[in-house]
Structure 1
Amino acid sequence: MTTPIPVPVIFIHGLWLHATSWTPWLDLFRQEGYAPSAPGWPGDPDTVEEARANPESIADHGIDDVVDHYAAIIRELPVPPILIGHSFGGMIAQKLLGRNLAAAAVAIDAAQIKGVLPLPLSALRATLPVFKNPGNKHRAVSLTAAQFRFAFGNAVSEAESAELFERWAIPAPGKPLFEAAAANFNPHSPAKVDTANGSRGPLLLMTGGKDHTVPEAVVRATLKQYRHSDARTDITDFPDRGHSLTIDGGWREVAGTALDWLRRNSL
């Protein structure tokens, strides 16, 4: 009798976090029988330290670059993977799912896709380090510890936020943010997702009620974009969590919720 192929799970990070921030999730999903991996974005060095020392390697990669990068990785897999993405990684996961390149996707505090209109003030403040200089579109931009605290760590203690910043924070390309900001004015925006696809796999949207960077209003507006699709689209919220919910001390609850949803969908 042949041994079943473990289902591949690809974790996709967002801006300002290194791919290794998924390490606890990889360990958990491997224990649960999946074949997980967390490949970085194009240009991402192997370590946090290298990324901080070489920000130019990360700069000027846009949404299409990242989507094509992960699509190439998917094509090498024996079966379509499950995608789990955070922030801009959640947008990337939705785009790949909309192209029928994945079996399912979990989008956690996913960045704003084309068609989503709410733009809360906290989201503007969280991304100001990039938007304050138009030249940042082609640069990699770092956050200070204080900026990280507002954008990621506002729902945890100051000490934990500082520890997460020191462990995982890296420079991020400004280009995806500029592309997303102009999405509703560009008919060919790379932030466009095929939300009407009725043949795609299931999608779970997750939102943190205290998220400053991708507030709950943005995620709920994203859900409405899928109203013309017959494919399964679910949403779950964590009312007391911020944008750090995948990396802070409560990550296991978020991961467990994703696993439970996958099991309910026989994935």
Structure 2
Amino acid sequence: MTTHVVFIHGLWIHSSAWKPWQELFTQKGYTTSAPGWPGDLDTVEATRANPDGLNNQGIWEICNHYADLIEKLDERPIVVGHSFGGLIAQELLANDLVAAAVAIDPAPVKGVHVIPFAQLKSGFPVLRSPGNRTKTVALDEKQFKYAFGNAITDEESNALHAAWTIPGPGRPLFEDATANFTRNSHATVDTETALRGPLLLTSGTEDHTVPEVVTRAVAKLYAKNDSSVTEYHTYEGKGHSLTIDAGWQEVASDVLAWLDQKGHGPRP
């Protein structure tokens, strides 16, 4: 039985934002880790001051970074990923590197053809300039409010922006945006034939960065796989900040309950 949980953050958020989740999961008997992306530094402040290590880090580099870290563990872990972390979690699961995965408001995999305006607007700070593909780009308070904090107050959104945001590499967004036009896209996940552990996909109904219709389209791709478990859960009224805002415990508690239901609770 797997008892180690690896948390994977998404674009623009530092890995230390997972600390409340780690504390809760530790209390419930799990061991946890929340490694940053390749190029992330140890703190929000340090990464903001020197984000150049994130330049040109793409989906393949991020996936391999986590695969290498997971290989060093004593057992296949569970992975919980948010946003692009949710896409990485699915790739790790499809390649049988982890025992189970939770993808919270995950970036779309190749094969999703719906592109809502809100998703385009959320990614516009990066996608507006081709030169951003090899650079890091930071969100200002207004951009963060639209992409992450639209379902919470301005005050809370600004506080989350100040606490957790870091510049993010542009390359993953460009790779994901062009996935359906790229033959060997790094956003490809075997949704149909992979024999793997259980997967939980979740979506907030008010999410702008990964709108609910996008995650539902991902779930439909998995519906063709009769050999592996995929489940979908919707959070009414929640936006992309659902893992870090005041309502995070509801999401975390649901993940814990799902893992227990699927036989991945901690050992007694």
Shorter chain as denominator, the TM-score bin is: over 0.9
- The answer to whether 1:53 aligns with 2:49 is yes
Question: Superposed, which structure 2 residues align to 1:107-146 within 5 Å?
Answer: 107-146=103-142
TM, length-normalised to structure 1: 0.97
Aligned match for 1:39, one of 35, 42, 48 = 35
Question: Superposed, which structure 2 residues align to 1:140-159 within 5 Å?
Answer: 140-159=136-155
- The answer to whether 1:30 aligns with 2:26 is yes
**What RMSD, in angstroms, separates the aligned Cα atoms of the two structures?**
0.9
**Other-structure match for 1:100:** 96
Aligned match for 1:180, one of 176, 179, 193 = 176
Distance 1:173 1:136 in 2: 8
The gaps in structure 2 that reach 5 residues or longer are none
Query: Is the Cα contact below 8 Å between 1:6 and 1:33 reproduced in 2?
Result: no
Shift of 1:198: 4.3
Shift of 1:259: 0.4
Question: Superposed, which structure 2 residues align to 1:63-78 within 5 Å?
Answer: 63-78=59-74
Distance 1:244 1:205 in 2: 16
Distance 1:179 1:54 in 2: 24
Residue deviations 1:9-56, cap 9 Å, x none? 000000000000000000000111111110000010000001111121
Amino acid at match of 2:254: T
**Other-structure match for 2:246:** 249
Distance 1:201 1:11 in 2: 17
TM, length-normalised to structure 2: 0.97
Report % sequence identity: 51
Shift of 1:119: 0.3
Query: Is the Cα contact below 8 Å between 2:39 and 2:51 reproduced in 1?
Result: no
Shift of 1:57: 1.4
Matched length: 263
The gaps in structure 1 that reach 5 residues or longer are none
Which consecutive aligned stretches of 4+ in structure 1 deviate over 3 angstroms post-superposition?
none
Shift of 1:6: 6.5
Distance 2:168 2:147 in 1: 13
Query: Is the Cα contact below 8 Å between 2:2 and 2:76 reproduced in 1?
Result: no
Amino acid at match of 2:178: A
- The answer to whether 1:207 aligns with 2:198 is no
Distance 2:133 2:91 in 1: 21
